[in-house]
Structure 1
Amino acid sequence: MKSAWIILAALIGGMLLGIGIETLSPDAGTASLPWIEPIGLLWLNALKMTIVPLVVALLITGITATADAARAGKLASRAVLIFLAAIILSGVMSLIVTPLLLRIFPLAADTAAALRSGLGGSAEAGASPSFGDFLLSLVPTNPIAAAAETAILPLIVFTTIFAFAITRLAPEQRATLAGLFKALGDAMLIVIGWVLALAPIGVFALGYALAVKAGLAAFGGLVHYVLIVSGIGVSCILLALLLAIVVVRIPPAAFVRAMVPTMAVAISTQSSLASLPAMLRSSAALGVDPQKADVVLPLAVALFRFTSTAMNLAVVVYVATLFGFELTPWEMAAGLAVAVASALSAVSLPGSISFVTSIAPIATAMGVPVAPLALLVAVETFPDIFRTLGNVIADVTATKYAADGVADNPAPTGAMP
């Protein structure tokens, strides 16, 4: 939380300085760009270099952990299927609602042009592939080349197949490979931690460059972005409430009454993990067997990020719309597939880390520029509130639904990874 506010302050400070210099002396502002902007771009490149190895490591550990959880018993396997269905549903909702919100509340043309220029207006959409080309691109002829070219979707296809193959190995071999990729992922997270420690400097430089290029319009554009993505967060919360009332058949008043303490903790901490004790109490208030809740809720905190698919896709769709990219149905399908994979393999870390590691692969798979993420991460503090709220509501809802559908005793918690 503290680091997120420091990064946000660095962005605002850089933008205010850029606007001030550009207002007082436009020539001085333009002359300063070659000296300051490369600092931000260098930090952005350092962030990008971690994406491919981290995606591979997290996807393999996520799939092996999910498979192990599904083996833990009927309750755990039912919960995993519920998690998967829910994050797909939220992603589909986002692909429908985000373009609709952008049409109803469009960004002013001059503000969009200024923001686009400040975020790298030279980015251009490539030719849209045919459906046949899209299918052929799914399976890489050379996974190493796919990684080198940052071809995320075919790399994820290969990694997913490889991860499921690992789950079929003997326990000793499975543990060895899973441990290897877990260590690789942990090492890359340490690297990302080092890179993000320099985020105030990089974001300050990028914010300064954005303000010099775009002026006051940059602030308006970022506020519009926050409102749109937060709107998808609110949509996720409403969808989770709708599922609780219609599908799980929990009386609305009883559900809200049980969830108020959990929502208070979620808003104050912006962490699903920190909200786990409160979620256990909310589940008990809704009549969930504590033994079953002890199995499903920790599993939900580890694997189930209901809002991630929707809000991550919303970020990419927003950037695509800003840069005038026309997303084809199969590009949206590719984005949804990568978003689901990212949600299942994401880690319970501060939003500034998970933002980049989860959204960059989606943007790359959909052919959308990744560079704007370096600035958008600075304003993630506000949408992250809705992410956490939606996640805890969905966690408790999924726990109630999974527990109600299983009559036998759940597997002991120690059976889970």
Structure 2
Amino acid sequence: MSQAFRILTALVAGLVLGIVLAKWGPGAGGWLLAFTKPVGGAWLHGLQMVIVPLVVALLVIGIAASAEAARAGRIAVRALIAFVVILWVNTIMSAIVTPLLLNLFPLRADWAAALRASLSSAKSGGQVPGLGQFFDSIVPTNIIAAASSDAFLSLTVFAMVFAFAITRLPAPSRKLLIDFFQAIADAMVVIIGWVLVLAPLGVFCLAFGVGMETGAAAFGALAHYIATVSTIGILVLLSAYPIAAIGARVGVGRFARAVLPSQVVALSTSSSLASLPTMLRSSEALGAPASTSGIVLPIAVAVFRATSPGMNLAVALYVAHLTGTVIGPGQLAAGVATAAITTMGSVSLPGTISFFASVAPVSIAMGVPIEALGLLVAVETVPDLFRTVGNVTMDVAVTATIAARSGGAPQGETDRMLEETPG
């Protein structure tokens, strides 16, 4: 039984038991709730305690890896520029589209009210910061204070500047620092792995409390969440087709046929890395020479997650909607910046760890409570499929575009290769 299936089973079991006891045994349910709430909270705290060092370390490693890749030459630089532009565009798209989706297709009022009541202790308060406060706090005056107060946007800015400073050091010093942060990241992943061994218990305890206090509303809310966040991933996936059509000068149908095998592998493995050999063949079918795809695709798999910032921001905005947290312009700007930047550091992590490492900083930067993430991680399997397929599709589209714009195969040769591609 996979870890994801165990967590999902624990979620369903906790919700069902909570609903049953709330209706037929409230006394026993209340007694059990007194034990499950502290256990669920402790499990969440175990995940939260490693987020700051993990995110900072991964961001330093990711930016250092990008700088190292840029030294590979002009094609690598073009790829990195394209990646950064796409990440920011997708994040801004999510900041606009997610609230529209929640307004057009809102969570049922009774479901929302029940869930807010169950998460009332997690509801954030205080004054909503404006844009002025956002710009005032973007550069930390005390990095230790920023870390202790979970000021993730300030931490992200410092980590980014620090990482770029490392790339300017002599090779021995640069390697020493990168190895140091790699060791920190590896240690944090080991700790999270230990905490996630208890994930079924933690999710069960959290789900039991929600089931007791909300009833069947929890199932409807989770389905609504999956549909909302997955929509952002689908939009990113679909945007790869016009990018390939315009950038690589290939027909949408031809691009669809060429990328389909990579999408199938992505669906079956939920891994961009496992899809790399098929992506190389898809790129070659689109006319990208091995000299280009052999540079762009490995970099893409290492540092580029096209769907991540948009979907991570969508998760944070959904939790804000769920808990009644008001998001002002300053908070939204902080979320956009944190999501777009930290994506470069969310590489090579297992899905469950990646969910917390990438979504929690965005939520905290926006002042959104992260307690609900313990439940949402249990259903991340479905949105994660759209994450992987969208990432793989965009990787191939960008590779074909860079090949076409870098003097790749002539259009006539590209057409001939595509016509000879099976299927």
Per-residue CA shift, 1:140-171, capped at 9, x if unaligned?
A: 22101111111111111111111111111111
Identity of aligned residues (%): 51
Q: Is the 8 A contact 1:121 1:323 kept in 2?
A: no
Match of 2:27 in 1: 27
Q: So what's the TM-score if we normalise by structure 2? A: 0.94
Matches within 5 A, 1:154-173: 154-173=154-173
- Per-residue CA deviations over 1:263-308 (Å, capped at 9, x if unaligned) read 1111111111111111011011111101211111011000110000
**Superimposed CA distance per residue, residues 222-275 of structure 1 (whole angstroms, 9 cap, x where no aligned partner):** 111111111111111112222222333320111111111111111111111111
Residue in structure 2 matched with residue 412 of structure 1 by the alignment: none
Matched residue type, 2:402: A
Match of 1:66 in 2: 66
- Consecutive unaligned residues of structure 1, counting only runs of 5 or more, are 410-417
Matched with 2:245 is: 245
**Contact 2:122–2:323 (8 Å) recurs in 1:** no
CA distance in 2 between partners of 1:339 and 1:263 (Å): 25
Q: Structure 1's 96 and 306: CA in aligned 2 closer, same or farther, altered over 3 A?
A: same
Instruction: Write the distance in 1 (CA, Å) between the matches of 2:323 and 2:212.
Output: 19
Q: Contact (CA 8 Å) 2:61, 2:178: kept in 1 or not?
A: yes
**Aligned counterparts of 2:290 and 2:12: Cα–Cα separation in 1:** 46
Q: Secondary structure at the match of 2:162?
A: helix
Aligned to 1:177: 177
1:126 Cα offset (Å): 2.2
SS at match of 1:306: coil
Indicate the residue corresponding to 1:371 in structure 2: 371
Determine if contact 1:55/1:357 at 8 Å carries over to the other structure. yes
Q: Which residue of 2 aligns with 1:149?
A: 149
**How far 1:408 sits from its partner (Å)?**
9.0
- Please name the residue that 1:255 is paired with: 255
Gap regions ≥5 residues in structure 2: 410-423
Aligned-partner Cα distance in 2 for 1:116–1:129 = 22
Q: Which amino acid aligns with 2:223?
A: V
Residues 84-138 of structure 1 deviation map (CA, whole Å, 9 limit, x = unaligned): 0011111111111111111111001110011222234551332022333222211
**Cα distance in 1 between the residues matched to 2:2 and 2:83:** 31
Question: Which residue of 1 is the match for residue 357 of structure 2?
Answer: 357
**2 CA distance for matches of 1:292 and 1:327?**
43
Alpha-carbon contact 1:14-1:205 (below 8 Å) kept? yes
Change (3 A) 1:129 1:337: same
- One-letter code of the match for 1:301? V
User: Are residue 39 (structure 1) and residue 39 (structure 2) matched?
Assistant: yes
Question: Where does residue 338 of structure 2 map in the other structure?
Answer: 338
Matches within 5 A, 1:10-409: 10-407=10-407
| Counterpart residue type for residue 272 of structure 2 | S
The aligned amino acid for 2:75 is L
Moved more, 210-219 or 131-140: 131-140
**Separation in structure 2 between the aligned mates of residue 120 and residue 349 of structure 1, nearest angstrom:** 32
TM-superposed CA distance for 1:407, in Å, is 3.7
Distance in 2 between the 1:66 and 1:322 partners?
Answer: 36
Deviation, 1:10, is 0.9
Residues 57 and 185 in structure 1, CA contact (< 8 A), matched pair in contact too? yes
Alignment-mate amino acid for residue 386 of structure 1: F
Name which of structure 1's ranges 247-256 and 184-193 shifts more when overlaid on structure 2.
247-256
Alignment match, 1:413: none
CA-CA distance at 1:174 after TM superposition: 0.7
Q: Are the aligned partners of 1:128 and 1:328 in contact in 2 as well (CA < 8 Å)?
A: yes
Q: Is the 8 A contact 1:289 1:403 kept in 2?
A: yes
Are residues 130 and 332 of structure 1, via their aligned partners in 2, closer, same or farther at CA, if it must alter by over 3 Å? closer
> How far, CA to CA, are the matches of 2:386 and 2:130 in structure 1?
37
Deviation at 1:403, TM superposition (A): 1.9
User: Following the alignment from structure 2 to structure 1, what is the Cα–Cα distance between the partners of residues 326 and 245?
Assistant: 36
* 8 A Cα contact 1:61 1:345, kept in partner: yes
Q: Name the counterpart of 2:2.
A: 2
Contact 1:67 1:167 in 2 (8 A): yes
1:146 aligned partner, one-letter code: A
Amino acid across the alignment from 2:48: K
Letter in 1 for 2:204: F
RMSD: 1.5
In structure 2, distance between residues paired with 1:275 and 1:120:
42
Q: 2:115 & 2:264 partners in 1: Cα distance? A: 35
Residue type of the partner of 2:257?
A: R
C-alpha separation between the residues in 2 aligned to 1:159 and 1:257?
Answer: 41
CA contact (8 A) 1:74 1:406 kept: no
User: Please, what TM-score do these two structures have when normalized by structure 1?
Assistant: 0.95
Cα distance in structure 1, aligned partners of 2:134 and 2:240 = 33
| Aligned residues of 2:124 and 2:367 also touching (Cα < 8 A) | no
**Matched-pair contact (CA < 8 Å) for 2:289–2:408:** no
Alignment-mate amino acid for residue 239 of structure 2: L
Whether the 8 Å CA contact 1:125–1:368 is kept in 2: the answer is no
What do residues 347-386 of structure 1 show as CA deviations (whole Å, max 9, x unaligned)? 2222111000001000111111111111110100011110
| Aligned counterparts of 1:212 and 1:325: Cα–Cα separation in 2 | 23
SS in 1 for 2:307: helix
